[in-house]
Amino acid sequence: MFYSAFWLSFFIVARSYFLVSHCSEASGAGFTTMAGTFTHGIRLDISATGYILILPLLASILFVWFSGKWFSAFMKWYTRIVLLAASVIIVVDSVLYIYWGYRMDFTPFMYLKTPREAAASVSILKIFLMLLAILLLAGTAGIIYNKLFRSCFSKPVNRSHRFAATLLFMLLSGSLIIPIRGGLGVAPIYAGSVYFSENMFANHASVNVVWNVGSSFVNRKPASNPYVFADKDEAEEITRSLTISNGATEMVLTTARPNILIIILESFGNALIGPLGGDPLTTPCLNKMIEEGLVFTNFYASGNRTDKALPAILNGYPAQPSVSIIKEAKKTQSLESLVRVMNGMNYHCSFWYGGDIDFADFRSFVISSGFSEIITKDNFSRSDFNSKWGVHDHVFFEALRDSMQYVKEPFFRVALTLSSHEPFEVPMKPVFEGRDNLTKFRNSVYYTDKALGDFIGWAQTAEWWHNTLVILVADHCRRNSLDELVYSPEIYKIPMLWLGGTLRVHGRRVAKLGSQVDIPVTLLRQLDTYSNFSFGKDLLSDDSRSFAFYTFKEGFAFLTDSSAYIYDHQLGKPVVEEGKNPEYAGMLGKAYLQVLYDDYLKR
């Protein structure tokens, strides 16, 4: 207990050191916000302490049976080594933050292979001051440790208590998973879990940098692009040719400044939507809406998870194989953001999700995207939760409806549903008979479709509807048949439907191939606003290319009107080549992926 308190105190001092080192930014944020860095950051401090306790607790089991001075010596030297390593990270981080603008991860250690070059831009004086700060921090903490724990870790355990003590230390060792994960919730803790403010410096100050370095080491990504297929300049030129559009855009809205409501539907694939070639019974409300709106019939998810969908929809950033950019706060904050564009146009931006905002690193992404209001399951009563994810969708839509009676215009709202996620628990008598997963999934989609239909039906009577564009889009699909492989297009084909009183056209279908990354460009062109989303295109432009790109675990698919090319990187060859000249489609897709991953690595 006291040893844990020692480390928690050390991390509080470390955060104080960071704030003092950047006092001008800290003072600008205000005292209350800076105090919040401690109350929110304590979660990562506890997690880091949990990791540090692993070896001492395991060594304690040995000490129960083999007592002696060795354990006291082990604890002393173990603590000194960890203190020194932590102090190096803390001090170096405080310097690097000035230049990088984000907390240190494992990246600087990659430059230790060439220490002379790494230190070339650092003055001798700065190196001396850094070494002095490291020695003071580690040395002072070491002296305090010696005073507090001088007589500890040496008294042998009574022989009659050995089994009980062994069991106790084993239980304590196993229980470390709780502080390390950050609790018992669905989502393990991550750096963005401690984000709490619109002030990004305050969010960064909340991060435990020692934890951050360790986490980035364990989850480190390739240092070089594994998807190099062509000359860099050639790949970039091909990618530009895919997304550039100089043609005329069909203006389908009656105003350039509509309210915008994007509703992201969990796992709504075309396979369950009748007008899009799927089952005609599962989504009766959505089926009817499709006949009234503007529907994109050849539209694809960028990836197979929600954490890959959000950057695609809100940042125009394609999903990457094997990694997910949303889990790296320093990268996502550098992305072009549709939300920040809307903020610049004086829209009131909010994000609504009835689940855990810490799941899959949503918190840091949503905050850095620029949302000024964030609604999560914490804003709802626990009596309205299902057993795992959060608020039932009908409760979620009711709260959204109630809030919109007082909404300020123009607004930009993003709402993400969740009831159609496993385990498909919905407060509704089953419509479809069966106990298999597909039937449970169909029932959950039917339930969400009903809740959505009720909300849209009410919205059409609201005053704000006449000046509003509603975009309904799925985050991804799911595998509904054993015949569908991980890369099958059927798993990625999703609906996108535009509705609202500001829509000029009704009952229209757009057949051009596209994906979630095209949403920002297509939307902003309707608002007559320039955008810099380099991986997306305008689906309503008369000369934009018709193609869709999506990724799976270790590969990509590139679809055109005449061909399909799907490449598995582990196999090093295509697994699907169909249509007219699929090799050309493969060349385009490889260039697109190469440029995407180069961009991902440099962020």
| Alpha-carbon span 347 to 339, nearest angstrom | 9
Q: Classify residue 520 by burial, with Cβ atoms within 10 Å: 0-12, 13-18, 19+.
A: buried
Residues 250 and 369 in one domain: yes
Considering the domain boundaries, does residue 482 fall inside one? yes
Domain-located, residue 567 = no
Q: Which of 17, 133, 11, 131 is nearest to 82 (CA)?
A: 11
Is pTM, for the whole model, over 0.85? no
**Residue at 563 is within a domain:** no
Highest mean pLDDT among 154-158, 236-240, 328-332: 236-240
The alpha-helical segments, DSSP class H, found in 460-555 are 519-526
**Quick check: is 23 in a domain?**
yes
Q: Where are the alpha helices (DSSP H) in 101-208?
A: 115-118, 124-149, 162-175, 177-181, 200-206
Answer yes or no: do 405 and 529 share one domain.
yes
Beta bridge partners of 416: 264, 353
The yes-or-no verdict on residue 111 having pLDDT over 60 is no
Which of 189, 218, 247 is the last residue before a domain boundary?
218
pLDDT at 74: 93
Last residue of a domain, one of 543, 571, 598: 543
Three-state secondary-structure class, residue 512: coil
Residue 252 and residue 174 in one domain: no
Residues comprising the chain, all counted: 603
Would 537 be classed as within a structural domain? yes
Q: What pLDDT shows up at residue 549?
A: 98
**pLDDT at 118 exceeding the cut of 60:** no
288 and 154 in a common domain:
no
Co-location of 466 and 343 in the same domain: yes
CATH for 495: 3.40.720.10
Same domain, 213 and 247: no
User: What pLDDT is recorded for position 460?
Assistant: 97
- The verdict on 248 and 212 lying in the same domain is no
**Cα–Cα–Cα angle for 283, 278, 582, rounded to 5 degrees:** 140
Cα separation, 568 vs 554, in Å, equals: 6
- C-alpha to C-alpha distance for 551 and 319, rounded to whole angstroms: 6
Together in a domain, 157 and 304: no
If asked whether residues 197 and 242 sit together in one domain, one would say no
Q: CA-to-CA distance for 54 and 300, rounded, in angstroms?
A: 45
Is 206 in the same domain as 320? no
In whole numbers, what is the pLDDT of the chain averaged over residues? 91
Residue 229 lies inside a defined structural domain of this protein? no
Q: Is the pLDDT of residue 302 over 70?
A: yes
Q: Are 421 and 441 in contact (CB under 8 A)?
A: no
Write the pLDDT tens digit of every residue in 183-196.
877 778 888 889 88
Rg (CA), the chain: 27
Q: How large is the average pLDDT for residues 104-127? A: 66
Residues 496-507 as b/e (b if ≥16 CB within 10 A, e otherwise) read: bbbbbbbbeeee
Q: Which two tokens stand for residue 25?
A: 């930014």
What's the rounded mean pLDDT across residues 585-593? 98
Residue ranges making up the domain that contains 324: 238-543
Confidence band of 275 (pLDDT split at 50, 70, 90):
very high
Please report whether residue 586 resides in a domain.
no
* Location of structure tokens 């390593």: 85
**Do residue 322 and residue 424 come from a single domain?**
yes
Question: Among candidates 590, 599, 601, which has minimal Cα distance to 534?
Answer: 599
User: What was the pLDDT predicted at 571?
Assistant: 83
Residue found under tokens 């509080």 = 12
Q: Is 549 among the domain residues? A: no
Domain count for the chain, please give it: 2
- What are the distances in angstroms from CA 367 to CA 198, 314, 350, 371? 7, 12, 10, 6
Mean of the pLDDT values across residues 112-118? 56
Using the 3D structure, point to which of 543, 562, 579 is the last residue of a domain.
543
The contacts of residue 137 (CB under 8 Å, 6+ apart) are 13, 14, 17, 87, 90, 91
The amino acid that residue 330 corresponds to is K
d(C-alpha 44, C-alpha 179), whole Å: 9
Parallel, antiparallel, or unpaired for β 547-552 and 555-560?
Answer: antiparallel
Q: How far apart are CA 399 and CA 380, in angstroms?
A: 9
The answer to whether residues 334 and 415 belong to one domain is yes
